Amino acid sequence: MRYPSLHILTVDDQAGVRCLLDAIVREEGHISYLASNGMEAVEMVKIIRPHLIFMDIRMPVMDGTKALEKIKELGYKFDVVIMTAFTENDVIDRAHKNGVIKCIIKPFDVEDIREVLREVAQKKYSQVSAL
């Protein structure tokens, strides 16, 4: 079943990761936005109000956990998936306190990304259908 398009923001300092996620998001029929650090993400969230964010944790300028804290302070609520090559429990715990629905360890499987997109789309569609 095809669900309505979602606005997806990918935040990662690695251009290759952004490009890959951009392609997957578009292939799944969603609208893709890209940011290269947490500061860009905070500014973009104010404009696009995404349904889902794929957020890297370790980035220059502003890391993912700090960006999530700032976004939460602004009062925005949406689903977040963190992506990290590091499995530090305190970082992951801190991210979960800021609305993270899932943690994906890099390198990730493309099918895991597709599954997350489908789950979030189904959840959003169910919320709209219930109204």
pLDDT at 64 over 70: yes
Give the containing element (helix H, strand E) for 53.
Answer: strand 52-56
> For 21-44, what is the mean pLDDT?
97
What are the contacts of 105-110 at 24+ separation with CB within 8 A? Answer: 106/17, 108/83, 110/20, 110/24
Q: Which of 73, 78, 58 is nearest to 123 (CA)?
A: 78
CATH of domain 7-129: 3.40.50.2300
Each residue's pLDDT tens digit, 82-124: 988 766 666 666 666 666 888 888 889 999 999 999 999 998 8
Q: Which pLDDT does position 102 carry in this prediction?
A: 87
Let me know the angle formed at the C-alpha of 101 by 12 and 3, rounded to the nearest 5 degrees. Answer: 90
**CA distance linking residue 101 with residue 120, whole number of Å:** 10
Tell me the average pLDDT across 26-35. 97
Question: Rounded distance, CA 6 to CA 1, Å?
Answer: 15
Summary mean pLDDT of the chain: 88
Predicted pLDDT of residue 4: 80
Residue 20 reports pLDDT greater than 60: yes
Which whole number is the average pLDDT over 15-29? 97
pTM of the predicted model, to two decimals? Answer: 0.89
Cα angle for residues 81, 61, 47 (degrees, 5° grid): 60
Q: Where are the domains of the chain?
A: 7-129
* Residue 49, phi-psi category: left (phi > 0), alpha (psi -120 to 50), beta (remainder): left
pLDDT grade for 61, boundaries at 50, 70 and 90:
very high
